Amino acid sequence: MKKSAAKPAGKAQAGATRKTASKSAVRVANIPGISPDAQPLAPARRPGEELRSRANAIFDILSEAHADAHCALEYRDPFQLLVMTILSAQCTDDVVNKVSPGLFARYPDAEAMASADLDDVMKIIRSTGFFRAKANNIVAAGRALVERHGGRVPEGMAELVALPGVGRKTANIVRGNAFHLPGMGVDTHVRRLSQRMALTRSDDPVEIEGDLCALWPPDRWTMGTHFLIFHGRRVCHARAPRCSGCVVQDLCPSAFLKAPGRAIKAPALAARVSRARTKPRVSSPRRKPR
């Protein structure tokens, strides 16, 4: 067998050093009022005033169009929200809301979940998909809560993401809704809309969180999440967005494109933003009678 030529030691070592540095270098934002462990990533590029202005205009318009936006998971306490958010991965909130009452009737708190029968949990949550992994995670999370936090769900980001099955999205949803702390939860809707609206260039949820947090002040993070989710469900659908009925079409670079998400050039976007500023704000579109 022919052996490949070895790379020079100096170049190989330099390449390894660059890869290690890129993985270990974490750009953490320094946003006032946010605890160090909850700081999002700093954006790769500092956003300009034009982008900030457009992002906050989108927030204002969506806040009127979706004034009823809220966390769609029907929870009663932080423990239920934690479990339900874990179950919501690759699953609709409606399915989670249907499954959860039966789950919490048998395992109402962290102590009960910690000693739950795994096969029974899998049977209950089967319809949520990936039920084996999810069952393992919520039972393990119950044990971790009992062992580390006396059965209570912690508020801190570091403590939350250390729980089985919990990443920054789940932690931010729990922090923002159960504890009323600033949190930007990037789910599939937030990811899709922020890309289509050119509020981020990233495809990574943690980086998208950092980009959005750099555009909106902390008191807009939690509701910003809900506004984008509701707009994604009602208007900006994944396969066929209803651009004609979108209240932020003049602020969206992807409006009416055949391939949504492909940003238009800056001059065209600037013209749209200029027109949007001079137009009266539009309320939520009503469905026309058939």
**Residues involved in catalysis:** 169, 187
Strand, coil or helix: what is 115?
A: coil
**Structure tokens, 182:** 């600033």
Give exposure, 49-84, as e/b (b: 16+ Cβ within 10 Å).
Answer: eebeebbebbbebbeebbeebebbbebeebbbbbbb
Residue carrying the six token digits 């159960």: 178
Query: How far is the C-alpha of 141 from the C-alpha of 207, rounded, in Å?
Result: 26
Identify any residues that bridge with 41 across adjacent strands, giving them in sequence order: 28
**Structure tokens, 183:** 């949190």
Helix-strand-coil split of the chain, %, nearest 5: 60, 0, 40
Query: How far is the C-alpha of 122 from the C-alpha of 67, rounded, in Å?
Result: 37
